[in-house]
Amino acid sequence: MITELLLALCTAAFLCLAYRYAWYRPNGFPPGPPRIPLFGSYLFMLMINFKYLHKAALTLSRWYKSDIIGLHVGTFQVAVVHSAEGVREVLNNKAFDGRPGIFVAAMRDPGDDIRGIFFQEGPLWKEQRRFILRYLRDFGFGRRFEQLELVIQEQLTDMLDLIRNGPKHRHELQMVKPGGYRVLLPLLFNPFSANCHFHIVYNECQSREEMARLVELCQVGMQFQRNADDYGRMISIMPWIRHIWPEWSGYRVLNESNVFVHKFFADFVDRALDTYEEGVERHFMDVYIAEMRRSPGYGFNREQFIMGLVDFSFPAFTAVGVQLSLLVQYLMLYPKVLQRMQREIDEVVGCGRLPTLEDRKNLPFTEATVREGLRIETLVPSDVPHKALEDTELLGYRIPKDTIVVPSLYAFHSDARVWSDPEQFRPERFLDAEGKLSLKLDVSLPFGAGKRLCAGETFARNMLFLMTATMCQHFDFVLAPGDKLPDLSQNLNGLIISPPDFWVQLQDRH
């Protein structure tokens, strides 16, 4: 009898503790799903939508009828925000400017610290971001710069030659089929975008003959982007599983990417260090090295320099090409949009020269189409995760210090309360009654906002406009025998949304 009573008491105590563990949340914390040991609420998200976790989070938000939900990802306490008001609050409130120390961020650096810009916080992040952005602007990053525009024109000319005349070098066979006009996206665009960026940083571009390692960098960068996910993947929840299941956990492929990218930029930095001459300013690298000599220490050293360059360069050799490839998918699905863009480009630019940034104000529909592409396919649907630096409030809920806060840019860009028909690809939503681009109508935030605003926004927007206008000026996107129209449901979700590699047939317009 006593044994049975003790067993009943133990069972009741266990059930009570299990219930408390599963459903406990801090006072005033947003509603959300229960948690289970090791996984937290992560398994529930996987069960709802294994492929797109940002959509799983939005489904939970609708289930709980709240624009903000609270959950656990492993041991991490997370708040996910889905309304325009909440997303703007997270992005613009300095109380949410922190970054969580998740394993996917830490494993990028071979050292013991989290360096760079993306996943750094506090005084080091502010100092490094301010310094790098300030001096990169002197070399054309983030502003109109005539010399850089000439470089971009050269790169676009090289890209057009590769498309029309086919590959001349072995590595180009990966991007364009022999004979030309059949191209692999997004790989085709990324090396040329990266070359423009490296001109800013290093004041030189690689020729087509020298581009093999740059093409490999773009491929490996995409490998990293596609094999992580919005919430850090399983290895950020349980880092120890990499020792047991390196393949299944994604550790092997992510680590392979990190090693290659780090070595690429380490070699880049070491070449600059070896050839540095005091008092001679050849490019941005020399400016940073001079600061390293003046202010040696944790903030300005070789390791931080490498990771800072990785973070500032990553979008140039992955994201620009991906975003343009996503737009190509929509132009193939909405041929009338493409035709309207081409008519506008023909009237303003003609066919005797390439489009320039000066043409932008006279190509409102083309610019609106680029902006609509950025909205409807939010490249980073859950943004890079933020962290509460102090106890604070958000949409009436209490957010304890160190909570990971996820502003869902995807939910904001697909919210019918903001956009009357968010599921429709409709560039004219950004045009006023006179057909002119209206920045008041574009409330989208594809690059984030606030102090964590993507530092490369201006560079990315310029590259997207020029590459889009150039491609549409010269080519139609057609279906070769055996081709099918893009299936948007097959697009991949990693740290960014990306299409699977796909071949596109181009046809000259002139």
DSSP string, 304-352: HHHHHHHHHHHIIIIIHHHHHHHHHHHHHH-HHHHHHHHHHHHHHT-SS
Among residues 214, 382, 186, 175, the alpha carbon closest in space to that of 313 is found at 214
Place of tokens 């609106």: 368
Separation between Cα atoms, residue 183 and residue 178, nearest integer Å: 10
Is the Cβ–Cβ distance between 87 and 445 less than 8 Å? yes
User: How many Å separate Cα 152 from the centre of its chain?
Assistant: 22
Separation between Cα atoms, residue 100 and residue 102, nearest integer Å: 6
Among residues 444, 499, 492, the alpha carbon closest in space to that of 53 is found at 492
Among residues 60, 86, 4, the alpha carbon closest in space to that of 386 is found at 86
247, with CB counted inside 10 A (0-12, 13-18, 19+), is: exposed
Q: Which fold has domain 2-508?
A: Cytochrome p450 (1.10.630)
CB count in 10 Å sphere of residue 498: 24
Query: For position 326, what pLDDT does the model report?
Result: 97
Give the side-chain half-sphere CA count within 13 A for 218: 30
Query: For position 251, what pLDDT does the model report?
Result: 85
Q: Is 454 annotated as a binding residue?
A: yes
Is the Cβ–Cβ distance between 204 and 211 less than 8 Å? no
Report residue 485 as tokens: 């129209």
CB count in 10 Å sphere of residue 400: 16
Report residue 496 as tokens: 């960014």
Query: For position 106, what pLDDT does the model report?
Result: 80
Based on DSSP, count helices (H) and strands (E) in the chain, helices before strands.
18, 11
Q: What residues contact 28, with CB distance under 8 A and at least 6 apart?
A: 397, 398
Query: For position 20, what pLDDT does the model report?
Result: 67
Domain segments of the chain: what residues? 2-508
Separation between Cα atoms, residue 459 and residue 136, nearest integer Å: 11
Query: For position 17, what pLDDT does the model report?
Result: 64
Separation between Cα atoms, residue 108 and residue 115, nearest integer Å: 9
Query: For position 1, what pLDDT does the model report?
Result: 66
CB count in 10 Å sphere of residue 452: 25
Q: What is the pLDDT along the chain (510 residues), one digit of tens a residue?
A: 677 767 777 777 666 765 566 667 888 899 999 888 888 888 888 889 988 999 999 999 999 999 999 998 888 899 999 999 999 999 999 999 999 888 888 888 887 778 888 888 888 888 888 888 888 887 777 777 778 888 899 999 999 999 999 999 999 999 999 999 999 999 999 999 999 998 888 888 888 898 999 999 999 999 988 887 777 666 777 777 888 888 887 889 888 999 999 999 999 899 999 998 888 888 888 889 998 888 776 688 889 899 989 988 888 889 999 999 999 999 999 999 999 999 999 999 998 899 999 999 999 999 999 999 999 999 999 998 999 999 999 999 999 999 999 999 999 999 999 998 999 999 999 999 999 999 888 999 999 999 888 888 888 999 999 999 999 999 999 999 989 999 999 999 988 999 999 999 999 997
Question: What is the widest separation between alpha-carbon atoms in the chain?
Answer: 96
Q: In this structure, what are the phi and psi dihedrals at residue 400, rounded to the nearest 5 degrees?
A: -70, 155
Q: What residues contact 231, with CB distance under 8 A and at least 6 apart?
A: 42, 45, 53, 73, 78, 382, 385, 406
Is the Cβ–Cβ distance between 49 and 55 less than 8 Å? yes
Q: Rounded to 10 degrees, what is the CA torsion of 251, 253, 259, 260?
A: -170
CB count in 10 Å sphere of residue 144: 11
Question: Which neighbouring-strand residues pair with 477?
Answer: 506
